[in-house]
Structure 1
Amino acid sequence: MIAGFGPALVDVINVIDEYPERGGHAIVKESFKLPGGAAANVIFGLASFGVKTKFYSPIGKDEEAKIFRESMERVGVILKLWEVEGKTGIVEVFVDRSGERTFFVHPNASSHLDVEIDDEEFFDLDYVYLDPYPSEKSLDFHLDVAKKAKKFKIEVILNPGYPYASMGLRKLKELLKYVDVLILSESELKLLGERVFDYCSTVVVTLGKKGAEAYSNGVWFFEKALEVTPVDTTGAGDAFAAGFLYGRILGLDVKKCLKLGNFVASYNIQHYGARSFPPKRMVDEFIRAIS
């Protein structure tokens, strides 16, 4: 079983033709709400592939909370949510005609981390997946989770995103000591520097339309991306992570995990929203094709 520790969010996706200059304006052609949150997207994807999953986050008491809960429950995620007064976290997403997206985050309830995860929550876990909460307490919260996970010999996976990568290696290295698999973008790697390779046995770097690479146990691997026309790149990295980790959970080698991550991401970006995952039958057919 894998547990995700990250924010429960709802994305408000706004479709535009192109981004205006600063001080200009753009017409929103379409707008809609979809459940989101990076770690939640990964856990949702893995659950849709048949993996046993749990998810931990604060959440509000509003209609957006209902949208988030129903989406996760539909694929069988065990929810470990603590309710706080007020609104659920919202991300305003603007997507242009090329599929490029820009985020504006309203943390709301997702910043409330005044809880401690008890040891018994780790008894049935094999993996934990960490993604930053929009809170000043996020790093300390994740450090506590990672320490407890290692006490129970659980594999720790971290996607630092911009919030952690922008802190720099000096602030993040204490958490990295407990991380087995680090999944980050090329731009995030530049922020942290190549010394991150000294901390984690497997480092996976997403390269956008070029594909993805991994450094695992002293060996480099690379797999090019599938050529598709993107509609919305929201959640592309999360989709990649879900595909990569599904392969890892199944015991596939690193190259096949990269191929699977690229496949899931390529499917995702051809649709609006972060949770456009291919059905399990398609994923399993792809695995058979590369085996």
Structure 2
Amino acid sequence: MKDDIRLAAVGDNCIDLYDQTGDAYPGGNPVNVAVYTVRLGGSASYTGVVGDDKYGRLMRQAVAAKGVDVSHLHTEPGSTALSHVTVVNGDRVFGDYEEGVMENFRLTEEDVDFLCGHDLVVSGLWGRVEGDLPRLKTRGVPVAFDCANRPEDPAAEKALPWVDYAFFSNDSAGDRELEDILRAIHTKGPELVVATRGERGSLAFDGSRFYRGGIVPCTVVDTMGAGDSFIAGFLYGLMRGEDIPACMALGAENSSVTLGYAGAW
């Protein structure tokens, strides 16, 4: 079993600003996955861009304080990405998203070389790196991609042929319908497709069989970061050589920790 796990997270970051309280939490899908990987005992880096404002300083300091390598977190003149959030019945509801300097984020050749020195690279729908995934995949580094709840999005469609492990969320489809969705996504390139289903657990498909995962019951304080926690746990298990059911169980366990406090981390 491999112990020296090195995950590279790349793409979007944002400050989650809770409008009801004024609280500001650093986050963003790849950032969260990096932080949760370190929490699990692995090492992780985050490659992206922040603005030269107070939120950019907060992002850099907070991510570094969690033990994540931020040597390839760039700073550009402008505003750090910002998501407005409200909490309704314990569930977070996203409002306006201000992309800021993330709008023009592009990987440099040095960034690509750095990413390829890891065991696995993970990004997501708003990371603006879907066009760079062929460069990573052809250099032999496994790629994971989070399609959020929009696997049909053009960015996801562009990414999927170059992705090894695809994730998305869907808590409304029935079992048969969701199986069909996983089959369809699998035909686009990924060797493994995983859907998170909220309280209904998770479903994975490797091209030959389906795997069903449960949840770890817990008191829900805030759902922010729960899906990213699942992805981090799942990928951590994969990089350690665990089988798919064990990875799903580790994802659920990691998610239950995050559900128990406010904010992503």
**Between Structure 1 and Structure 2, how many residues are aligned?**
252
| Contact 1:122–1:152 (Cα < 8 Å) also in 2 | no
Residue 3 of structure 2 aligns with which residue? Answer: none
Q: Structure 2: how far apart are the matches of 1:133 and 1:98?
A: 25
Residue 257 of structure 2 aligns with which residue? Answer: 267
| Contact 2:235–2:247 (Cα < 8 Å) also in 1 | yes
The offset of 1:99, in angstroms, is: 2.7
| Contact 2:60–2:73 (Cα < 8 Å) also in 1 | no
Aligned partner of 2:164 among 180, 199, 206 = 180
Cα deviation, 1:94-121, whole Å, max 9, x if unaligned, reads 0123334334211112212244344422
Q: Structure 2: how far apart are the matches of 1:86 and 1:173?
A: 30
Name whichever of 224-233 and 32-41 sits farther off. Answer: 224-233
Aligned partner of 2:131 among 114, 121, 143 = 143
Partner of 1:48, secondary structure, is: helix
TM-score, normalised relative to structure 2: 0.86
Q: Does 1:154 align with 2:141?
A: yes
- 1:63-142 to structure 2, matched below 5 A, reads 63-79=54-70, 80-118=72-110, 119-133=112-126, 138=128, 141-142=129-130
Q: What one-letter code is carried by the residue in structure 1 that aligns with 2:143?
A: V
| Contact 1:268–1:274 (Cα < 8 Å) also in 2 | yes
Q: Structure 1: how far apart are the matches of 2:148 and 2:53?
A: 27
Larger radius of gyration: 1
Residue 57 of structure 1 aligns with which residue? Answer: 48
TM-score, normalised relative to structure 1: 0.79
The offset of 1:165, in angstroms, is: 2.8
Query: Which consecutive residues of structure 1, in runs of 5 or more, have no partner in the other structure?
Result: 15-27, 276-291
- Evaluate the alpha carbon distance shift between residue 264 and residue 122 of structure 1 in structure 2; reply closer, same or farther with a 3 A threshold: closer
| Contact 1:111–1:133 (Cα < 8 Å) also in 2 | no
- Evaluate the alpha carbon distance shift between residue 3 and residue 108 of structure 1 in structure 2; reply closer, same or farther with a 3 A threshold: same
| Contact 1:203–1:214 (Cα < 8 Å) also in 2 | yes
| Contact 1:58–1:112 (Cα < 8 Å) also in 2 | no
- Evaluate the alpha carbon distance shift between residue 91 and residue 180 of structure 1 in structure 2; reply closer, same or farther with a 3 A threshold: same
Cα deviation, 1:167-226, whole Å, max 9, x if unaligned, reads 26xx74442111110011126998994411212111111010111111124121111112
Q: Structure 1: how far apart are the matches of 2:94 and 2:252?
A: 22
- 1:247-286 to structure 2, matched below 5 A, reads 247-275=237-265
| Contact 2:116–2:136 (Cα < 8 Å) also in 1 | no
Cα deviation, 1:73-110, whole Å, max 9, x if unaligned, reads 11222211222211111111101233343342111122
Percent of pairs with identical residues: 23
- Evaluate the alpha carbon distance shift between residue 245 and residue 71 of structure 1 in structure 2; reply closer, same or farther with a 3 A threshold: same
Report the aligned-residue RMSD: 2.3
Name whichever of 108-117 and 36-45 sits farther off. Answer: 108-117
Partner of 1:31, secondary structure, is: coil
Partner of 1:11, secondary structure, is: strand
Q: Structure 2: how far apart are the matches of 1:222 and 1:165?
A: 20
- 1:38-57 to structure 2, matched below 5 A, reads 38-57=29-48
Query: Which consecutive residues of structure 2, in runs of 5 or more, have no partner in the other structure?
Result: 1-5
Partner of 2:210, secondary structure, is: strand
Q: Structure 2: how far apart are the matches of 1:73 and 1:62?
A: 17
